[in-house]
Amino acid sequence: MATYQLISFKTCPWVQRAAIVLREKGVPFEFIHIEPGNRPDWFHAISPHGKVPVLRIGGTLALFESNAIAEYLDETIEPRLHPEKPVRRAINRAWTDHLPVFASVLSAVSGAADAAAHAQALEGLRTAFGKLEHALSTPPEKGPWFNGSHYSLVDAGYAPFLQRWQIVEALTGISELAAYPRLADWTRALIERPTTHSFPPEEFEALYRDALSRRGGWLARNVAQAAE
């Protein structure tokens, strides 16, 4: 059986996405954590873009980019997470293609320099949340996931980002998810699913809180004030 090593920064949501897919498929794997500011030469040799995740398979093959990794795993290892119907599969791929845009919206909120920039970024976040709320309002069947009862690559992709946003709300008192009940339910279901988590929740919250602090800006200051 092939061995799988996932090259990672500890708080990287794109790595977490790949780890979720591996766990959903029951694939044993090893984390290899590296520091963002001290990327070793061997890493640059297998990561053409200098980014994580990289999935090293059998010590010889190295796959990069989280979407490509997720698609490869779904094509080669059961159970299949993509829907069987081609139309629904296309819709799912459209939403996973949208992930970098969604991530940038969340990043604008977490990295806003001051209150004015934060307020403007929140408007963008509400637009993004509204789009997801609409998509979640028309699943093909009942259930807690993006496609109803069938867990998919969309769920695996959005889980890390919604987990981080739930932590932001808990740390700051910001309450945006409450205005989007289906999105709030989806977030809750994703966070409750064991495969979402690469670390115990308390440990990850501390890691993410530290990452926010290092980033600085309005949100980091308010997280610090909430802890005092």
Query: What amino acid positions are annotated as catalytic residues?
Result: 12
Tokens of 137: 């309002």
DSSP string, 167-191: HHHHHH----GGG-HHHHHHHHHHH
Interstrand relation of 54-57 and 4-8 (parallel, antiparallel or unpaired): antiparallel
Q: Per the structure block, which two tokens stand in for 3?
A: 């061995």
How far apart (Å, rounded) are the C-alpha atoms in residues 209 and 214? Answer: 9
Determine what percent of the chain falls in helix, strand and coil, rounding each to the nearest 5: 60, 10, 30
Q: What's the sign of the alpha-carbon dihedral 202, 11, 151, 91?
A: positive
Closest CA to 96 of 115, 79, 83, 84: 83
CB 4 within 8 A of CB 22: yes
Taking each helix axis from N to C terminus, what angle separates 153-172 and 86-97, rounded to the nearest 10 degrees? 40
